[in-house]
């Protein structure tokens, strides 16, 4: 993948997320995408990329850049989860969203080192942030 392709991919992802946000906002009539749409359109695809490092490690610089971008997108999603209208509370929800931001930024940093083991460790920390939130706010879906 060339830098241009990554740029086009990232641009398409941002446009797709924006379209998803607009359609979700219209449906929710709240002016922003519901949390479920953020999870389906942004968090799950980005986390799949980050968590997939263990099954197929990046083979070149461009693939490492995509892993770093996935981690940065997760950090941005954490920021979106803190916005008014999405945040369920200013306590546990905010703490979990900040943990997603912090662990995702750490994952992006180690992706720059191009070290699969370090990215896997950082990915585990991201997973723990996700799991902490899901355990509280989606108890029926945890473990399913």
Question: Which of the four pLDDT bands, split at 50, 70 and 90, describes residue 126?
Answer: very high
pLDDT for 138: 87
Determine what percent of the chain is predicted with pLDDT higher than 90.
Answer: 67
End-to-end Cα spacing for the chain: 35
Dump the DSSP string for 50-80. HHGGGTS---SHHHHHHHHHHHHHHHHHHHH
* Interval 51-66: pLDDT, tens: 999 898 899 999 999 9
* Interval 69-101: pLDDT, tens: 999 999 999 999 999 889 998 999 999 999 999
Considering only CA atoms, which of 64, 74, 75 is closest in space to residue 111?
A: 64
Does residue 82 contact residue 94 with C-beta atoms inside 8 Å? yes
Where are the chain's structural domains?
3-137
Structurally, what CATH architecture does the domain formed by 3-137 represent? Up-down Bundle (1.20)
Question: Residues 131-135: contacts with CB within 8 Å, 24+ apart?
Answer: 132/96, 132/99, 133/92, 133/93, 133/96, 133/97, 133/100
E-state strands within 3-141: none
Cut 0.85: pTM above it: no
Please give the angle made by the CA atoms of 78, 113 and 55, to the nearest 5 degrees: 75
Does residue 72 contact residue 102 with C-beta atoms inside 8 Å? no
pLDDT for 143: 54
Residue 21: pLDDT above 50?
Answer: no
Q: Does an H or E element contain 18, and which?
A: helix 3-28
């Amino acid at each position: 993948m060339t830098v241009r392709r990554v740029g086009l991919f990232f641009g398409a992802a941002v446009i797709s997320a924006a379209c998803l946000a607009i359609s979700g906002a219209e449906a929710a009539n709240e002016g922003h995408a519901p949390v479920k749409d953020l999870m389906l359109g942004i968090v799950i695809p980005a986390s799949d990329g980050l968590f997939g490092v263990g099954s197929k490690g990046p083979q070149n610089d461009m693939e490492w850049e995509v892993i770093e971008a996935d981690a940065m997108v997760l950090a941005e999603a954490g920021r979106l989860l803190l916005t008014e209208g999405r945040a369920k509370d200013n306590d546990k929800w905010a703490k979990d969203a900040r943990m997603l931001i912090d662990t995702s930024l750490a994952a992006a940093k180690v992706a720059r080192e191009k070290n699969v083991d370090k990215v896997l460790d950082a990915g585990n920390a991201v997973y723990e942030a996700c799991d902490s939130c899901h355990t509280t706010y989606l108890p029926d879906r945890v473990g399913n």
